[in-house]
Amino acid sequence: MLKLTASQEAEISSRLLKHWHQAVPNDRMAHLVKDVARSFLRSLQVRLAAHDVTLGHWTFLRILWERDGLTQRELSNEAGVMEPTTLIALRGMESLGYITRERMAGNRKNLYVFLTPAGKALKKKLVPLAEEVNAVAMKGLEASDIAAVRRSLLVMLDNLAGDTATRDGAAEAEAL
């Protein structure tokens, strides 16, 4: 993500708030979810930057903390990004000493990605930052409201996962 000044961040937040509270408070749900997600990511990015970790690196670190030793392709698929994007991020993470990329004796074709001790240690520093962002976002909400939002978003996620148009489009793309 692009680095913004504090005044630019404030202007973006102001525009978002005006849009949702005054201009079109009933705009499409997809837009609201996107804007909330972007706000979460901006808040996290500021905190990660203090530890010299980019938002792109965060994405891959989170995956590797759960499943170390994936191939670059598997990591791209898990992150939902193209392989060249993954390659660029991994090169950066490797130069920072967070990961190593290795070929295995039985499979010289694939490169496997492993966290270094430094990459593993970042989890203890960075996860609390993400938890802090969540706490900031949830401030003032009742537990029942949080549970209702979570349930609603999970239903939406389930519905979109079962969207036949998405599956049909993916099948058509594979056939090409």
The pLDDT tens digits of the residues spanning 110-138 come to 889 999 999 999 999 999 999 999 999 99
Distance CA 159, CA 147 (A): 18
- Global confidence as pTM: 0.74
- Considering the domain architecture, whether residues 116 and 148 belong to the same structural domain is answered as no
pLDDT of 163 above 80: yes
Question: What pLDDT is attached to residue 24?
Answer: 60
Tell me the mean pLDDT in the region 93-98: 96
Domain of 25 in residue numbering reads as 1-50
User: How many domains does one find in the chain?
Assistant: 3
- Considering the domain architecture, whether residues 117 and 76 belong to the same structural domain is answered as yes
Q: Final residue of a domain: which of 11, 33, 50?
A: 50
Cross-strand pairs, 70: 113
Q: Is residue 18 part of a domain?
A: yes
pLDDT of 19 above 80: no
- Considering the domain architecture, whether residues 39 and 66 belong to the same structural domain is answered as no
Q: Tell me the percentage of the chain whose pLDDT exceeds 70.
A: 81
- Considering the domain architecture, whether residues 162 and 111 belong to the same structural domain is answered as no
Q: Is residue 173 part of a domain?
A: yes
Q: Which CB contacts under 8 angstroms, 24+ apart, belong to 125-132?
A: 125/51, 126/48, 126/51, 126/53, 126/58, 126/61, 129/44, 129/47, 129/48, 129/51, 130/44, 132/47
The pLDDT confidence band at residue 174, using thresholds 50, 70 and 90, is low
Question: What pLDDT is attached to residue 4?
Answer: 62
Q: Is residue 137 part of a domain?
A: no
* CB-CB contact of 102 with 116 (8 Å): no
pLDDT of 29 above 50: yes
Question: What pLDDT is attached to residue 55?
Answer: 92
Q: Is residue 84 part of a domain?
A: yes
Distance CA 34, CA 164 (A): 22
Q: Is residue 133 part of a domain?
A: no
pLDDT of 139 above 60: yes
Tell me the mean pLDDT in the region 38-54: 92
Query: Among candidates 17, 51, 74, which has minimal Cα distance to 123?
Result: 51
